[in-house]
Amino acid sequence: MIKLDAGNVLIKPSQRKQLMAWLKRALKLGERLGDFFLNITVRQVGRMVEVRANVQDRAGTFDCRARQHDWRAAFREIARTLATRLHDQKLRRLTT
């Protein structure tokens, strides 16, 4: 399950679709782990966009954060980080 809290940033429907496309790999990995919940919070801090992601699943919980000048760059960084961390959790779970 995903929850997006846009905060003080206007996110258009087309941008939401783009974000979901970037998160597709992370979502598949999270569903394989089980009990997957992703909470994304977006805030505008000065000229920067801050994106925070909180992930909860069977393997544990972790947080990610990205600050960029552009919302696209921040979301791309979060999507990459989430996919890498979830993949790492899956590998750890397989070895134990």
pLDDT tier at 24, thresholds 50, 70, 90: very high
Distance CA 58, CA 15 (A): 29
Is 90 exceeded by the pLDDT of residue 94? no
Distance CA 24, CA 31 (A): 11
Phi, psi (deg, nearest 5) at residue 24: -55, -45
Average pLDDT, rounded, for the chain: 92
Full residue range of the structural domain in which residue 8 is found: 2-95
| CATH code of the domain in which 51 resides | 3.30.160.100
Amino acid (one-letter) located at 19: L
pLDDT tens digits, residue range 28-70? 999 998 899 999 999 999 999 999 999 999 988 999 999 999 9
Nearest to 67 by CA among 81, 55, 57, 56: 81
Distance CA 16, CA 8 (A): 15
- Total of domains in the chain: 1
